[in-house]
Structure 1
């Protein structure tokens, strides 16, 4: 299993999501969302979830943290809900039907849940598993070490630890009723500082 086994979908929505990500994320955050896509596809591969909606997973992977970007920082909504609405707007422009646009919003919101049951939402599970690995180190042992090597080589973590931690801490202070505060209280900064992938290959 290699990253090249999971090419990005070449659809209108996927291309637009990538372009938006390239325009508004820092290099470290852009690498984070690219890794999230590959982790999600990796989990789907090893768990036999080949019938998942790959286009939807790609779009939500690219945009799940767009609410942390200053241009999309909402005064009251959690960053994942704000980002979900950005994804709704994008997929509306791409011609997605209303029910599928709602799925995009739901899946992005769910990525900050403690866990998502795949029987409840398979795409939500894949995004939560992928971001859980990239931010908290969860389920790293479930993926082949060679695959992790290749993904980190293609998309290095760079300054993700400080950028993501600072952004979520800022959201937590300004919006204490949102999931950002829960993430900080539950030890996000420590998880990032002692992340397995930060020391991978040493």
Structure 2
């Protein structure tokens, strides 16, 4: 398993999602979003899952857009606002309303405690991919060489502080949100102890 074998689909929609992530997210969050794609693609290979790769790529690249200042929503959780940013991109790309809704669902579900792959394969893959990158969940599933290659290309940088601070701010304003659940569940400690930090 190599990075070059699992690059995101080379479509106009995915290229636009990459551009939007680079434009609106901090460098640490943009790199996290790209790594989330690579972890999700890697998990799909290892687990024998067959997602819609373009849908998964756009969702992975834009899943944290709700943490960008320009898209910070007052009343809804950041994963919901991020999902709707992705849906707007899908609409502009000519995706059907059903596919636009799937983007919303996948992005929202990445913050669920667990997503059954038989219920939503793309949501499951994004949930476990972000779980690895943020909390260090399932660190032994993907080959160590692959983890190192992806981290070499897209370093973690200031992710622990950047993501931790942004989620804490969301949790403070939205105490019933998944952000508040993540923070109460020891998010900062998990970020600091993530085994990816030492690879």
Quickly name the TM-score band, shorter chain normalised: over 0.9
Q: TM-score, normalised by structure 2?
A: 0.98
Segments of 4+ moved more than 6 angstroms: none
Given that 2:13 and 2:90 are in contact with CA atoms closer than 8 Å, whether structure 1 keeps it comes out as: yes
What do you get for the CA RMSD once the two structures are aligned? 0.7
Q: Does 1:20 align with 2:20?
A: yes
| SS across alignment from 2:48 | coil
Q: How many residues align?
A: 199
Could you report, residue by residue, the CA deviation over 1:53-94 in whole angstroms, capped at 9, with x for unpaired residues? 000010001000010000000001000000001001010000
| SS across alignment from 1:140 | coil
- Structure 1 regions of 5+ residues with no counterpart? none
Kindly report which structure 2 residues correspond to 1:35-114, keeping only aligned pairs within 5 A, or say none: 35-49=35-49, 51-114=50-113
Paired position in structure 2 for 1:175: 174
CA separation in 1, counterparts of 2:15 and 2:145?
28
Could you report, residue by residue, the CA deviation over 1:114-152 in whole angstroms, capped at 9, with x for unpaired residues? 111000000000000100000000111000000001011
- Structure 2 regions of 5+ residues with no counterpart? none
Larger displacement relative to structure 2 (191-200 or 110-119): 191-200
CA positional deviation for 1:170: 0.4
Paired position in structure 1 for 2:118: 119
| SS across alignment from 2:111 | coil
Given that 2:7 and 2:38 are in contact with CA atoms closer than 8 Å, whether structure 1 keeps it comes out as: no
Q: TM-score, normalised by structure 1?
A: 0.97
CA positional deviation for 1:9: 1.2
CA positional deviation for 1:12: 2.2
CA separation in 1, counterparts of 2:106 and 2:77?
14
Paired position in structure 2 for 1:10: 10
Paired position in structure 2 for 1:159: 158
CA separation in 1, counterparts of 2:8 and 2:197?
25
